[in-house]
Amino acid sequence: MPNKDDINISKNDLMQILELTGLPLSSVEKLIDLKDAEQKEIEQRKKEADNPPFVQVYKGMGLKALQLLIKDNQLASEIFVFFLDNMNNNNLVMASQQLLSEEFGKGRTTIYKAIKYLEEHNFINVAKVGTANAYIINPEVAFQNAHNKKKYVGFNGTILLSKKENNTLFDKYNYNNIKVLKEKE
């Protein structure tokens, strides 16, 4: 995107300026090439930093693992897809058993068994955070960040809250409860 200091001139005008200044054409071409290379590098860095909302599933191990998961344990596969849909760029999502119970309409024991299946079959790793769990998706199965960042485990994450466990919080942040809005009604 051009900034206010950029000047656009025709090739013909540029040639006339070069002729008047006596600068060799090769020097100007080198400057232009350097500027182009710099711009391409900036665009590449931006492209690497901006990661669209997608999940990479790797051919071979990733797809075969998903096929087996879907065949062997339907609930575990549904939970895994839920994690993929909600994970951050570091393959991490945090959720309580209560939230998962509500989301899938299953009891805590059933959810626990499905999570255990995912953990035992190396789809996820589980880290305890107080009474909730942080679920780290195996980057060899699926990944959301740039490929060169697979070797890092990030512990900032998307935290999913259950309404049942956080009634006060949900009530407090209900826009209908905003004092200013209530007073205007």
Dist CA 64 CA 51 (whole Å): 25
Q: Quick: pLDDT tens for 27-39.
A: 777 777 788 888 8
pLDDT (0 to 100) of residue 32: 75
pLDDT in tens, 159-171: 666 777 777 766 7
Task: Tell me the C-alpha distance between 102 and 104, whole Å.
Answer: 6
Q: Mean pLDDT, to the nearest integer, of 97-104?
A: 92
pLDDT at 180 exceeding the cut of 50: no
Question: How much is the pTM?
Answer: 0.59
